[in-house]
Structure 1
Amino acid sequence: MNRKRIALLTGLTILTSTIVNTTNPLRYATKAQAEAAQNKSNLKPNSKYPDISKELDLTSMDQYSSVNLFMNVTLKNFYVKDLAIDEYDQYHLILTPIKSSDQYFLIVTKSKQPIKKNRKISIQGFINGKTRIDDKQIDAGLNQKYFNKKVVSMLADNIGL
């Protein structure tokens, strides 16, 4: 499966809140994709991952349909608003462009280095549409106040701490 198809299927799975059993190959594809994220101390600019602020208006992501949000981008120095670690040792991160923003980005990924709340982080990866924070994210440990909030979902390739 190519990367866009995996992102689309992942987004649709999250949107429909379908329960995925352990024999579903999509679950393993998503987990493998999440494990593919590499930690780096400093992310270098890369033409494959343009800066999101140059591609999209971050003040109002509602103007974009989920179909338009399939692209490689870099989230540079985004603020870690909340985080949780699930039973698979995956980080569930809610990021915002600045500390006071209510425009949320959701990334579920593994990290070899610890990620801390209220810090800045840079991520290169693939945006795969809009969704909402659901029970699965809350059960992983995200704050209840984010339940049902609109978020932009992203698959991480590289993480800069």
Structure 2
Amino acid sequence: MNRKRIALLTGLTILMTAAVNTTNPLRNALKNDAEAARIKTNLKPNSKYPDIANKLDLTSMEQYSSVHLFMNVTLKDFYVKESTIDNYGQYHLLLAPIKTSDQYFLVVTKSKAAIKKGHKITVQGFLNGKTKIDDTQLNAGINSKYSNKKVVSILADNIEI
């Protein structure tokens, strides 16, 4: 190889390495995990956590692919359909926009305050795509009637009970 080609390849390698290091999603995920589940009072939608009702149609989440369900949102006054605690002290919460809804959101988080079935909570966090209620959730204590139900996963940053 000639010098120009070597210089070009070296420069491209350095640029690609720099781009990968600055946009590393794992670095951001670790930061989010460290901040996860702070219990706050009076959570309000803001520019970082817009209200999900203004971004998505909550009556028909099936229309969205998992690719579209990656964003920061606020789930305001969602109804707790199921609330269980696993062996690690983490809450497994199955949330719905209203009591009679069959659109479910799954949150796994730690909380110092008790979160009970039937309560309304507000969650600010990151939508993490679609999933199903699997054996992990059932073993944690989620009612078996929700087995294989489609849910949208959310990583909680802040919770208001």
Residue 33 of structure 1: how far off its partner (Å) = 1.8
Task: Give the structure 2 partner of residue 63 of structure 1.
Answer: 63
| TM-score, normalised relative to structure 1 | 0.80
Counterpart AA for 2:148? N
| Structure 1 unaligned blocks of 5 or more | 7-28
Runs ≥4 in structure 1, deviation > 6 angstroms? Answer: none
1:48-59 matches, cutoff 5 A: 48-59=48-59
Q: Deviations over 1:22-53 (max 9, x none)?
A: xxxxxxx6xx8277210012213321000000
Residue 112 of structure 1: how far off its partner (Å) = 1.2
Task: Give the structure 2 partner of residue 2 of structure 1.
Answer: 25
Task: Give the structure 1 partner of residue 16 of structure 2.
Answer: none
Task: Give the structure 2 partner of residue 145 of structure 1.
Answer: 145
Task: Give the structure 1 partner of residue 117 of structure 2.
Answer: 117
How many equivalent pairs are there?
Answer: 138
- Verify the 8 A CA contact 2:69 2:128 in the aligned structure 1: yes
Task: Give the structure 2 partner of residue 79 of structure 1.
Answer: 79
Task: Give the structure 1 partner of residue 133 of structure 2.
Answer: 133
Q: Deviations over 1:91-119 (max 9, x none)?
A: 00000000000000000000111111101
- 3-state SS of the aligned residue for 2:100? coil
Higher relative contact order (CA 8 A, sep 6+): 1
In the aligned structure 2, how far is the partner of 1:74 from the partner of 1:115?
Answer: 18
Give 1 or 2 for the bigger CA radius of gyration. Answer: 2
Task: Give the structure 2 partner of residue 92 of structure 1.
Answer: 92
- 3-state SS of the aligned residue for 2:89? coil
Range 32-41 or range 101-110, more displaced: 32-41
Percent of residue pairs identical: 68
In the aligned structure 1, how far is the partner of 2:42 from the partner of 2:145?
Answer: 32
- Verify the 8 A CA contact 2:96 2:104 in the aligned structure 1: yes
In the aligned structure 2, how far is the partner of 1:109 from the partner of 1:88?
Answer: 10
Task: Give the structure 2 partner of residue 15 of structure 1.
Answer: none
- Verify the 8 A CA contact 1:104 1:150 in the aligned structure 2: yes
In the aligned structure 1, how far is the partner of 2:34 from the partner of 2:148?
Answer: 23
| TM-score, normalised relative to structure 2 | 0.80
RMSD: 2.0
- Verify the 8 A CA contact 2:36 2:155 in the aligned structure 1: no
In the aligned structure 1, how far is the partner of 2:143 from the partner of 2:26?
Answer: 30
